[in-house]
Amino acid sequence: MSVFKRNSASEAEEKLKHWLASLRGPLAVGLSGGMDSGLLFFMAVEFAPYGAIPFTAITPFFTWDDKKQVERICEYKGVPPAFLLVDTLQHQEVANNRALRCYFCKKMIYEAIVEAADRRDCRLVADGTVLDDLARYRPGIMALKELGIETPLADSGLRKSELMEIAGNFGWSEILGRDPVSCLATSLEPNNRIDHEILQVMNSCFHGTKSLKNKAFS
């Protein structure tokens, strides 16, 4: 899918719908639980003739809340999630939190998704990258390009700020509109060893803090 230069968000949305409608098989979507991949999955279910299959990599950086959000998104559309266990800490660049951590982490995730998608007869795999991401330093995008992963939101010209508007128009805001969550690794010092125990503690703290916040505002 070639990058589309457009004049409006509505034009970009129509470009995305047209691309989805042209697919000749189910679309595999890498679903992280965030707004970007969630909206792509919803749009694929609505407009792709053969629907979409959501694949989610359970990595050491994946939080319990991420998993619950993925399950919530999939339940809303009545499509069961396909969870894949991917221990990205097996790669030393990831485990040592080096500069290209995101590249190797993303590559391991999508290699697993591509393999699983092929077993489900999905010839195309898509990621929720948006246009804004292309203007930032995102090593993971290089991995997507190397693996031939589609980025239909970015290619259509959609920006992150426009996704909530689209979600609202379809009545999806309540499901997709959770607060953005950063990767656990971003809270750790670069070039320092990461292990499963550290991430489990962080996961527990993150989950506990969020639970307290939800109770405070309920």
Q: Which residue in 82, 58, 54, 72 sits closest to 176, CA to CA?
A: 72
For the chain, the domains span 9-216
Determine contact, residues 77/45, Cβ cutoff 8 Å: yes
Angle at 63 between CA 150 and CA 188, to 5 degrees: 95
Q: Which two tokens stand for residue 147?
A: 């693996």
From the list 150, 136, 138, the residue with the least C-alpha distance to 183 is 138
Q: Residue 178: what pLDDT?
A: 81
Q: Which residue is it, tokens 């992150």?
A: 160
pLDDT per position in the chain (218 positions), as tens? 544 454 477 899 999 999 999 999 999 999 999 999 999 999 999 999 999 999 999 999 999 999 999 999 999 999 999 999 999 999 999 999 999 999 999 999 999 999 999 999 999 999 999 999 998 888 999 999 999 999 999 999 999 999 999 999 999 999 998 877 788 888 888 899 999 999 999 988 866 554 434 433 33
Residue 17's nearest CA partner among 53, 54, 42 is 42
pLDDT of residue 186: 83
The CATH number, out of the four listed (3.40.50.620, 1.10.10.10, 3.30.70.100, 3.30.1330.40), of the domain defined by the range 9-216: 3.40.50.620
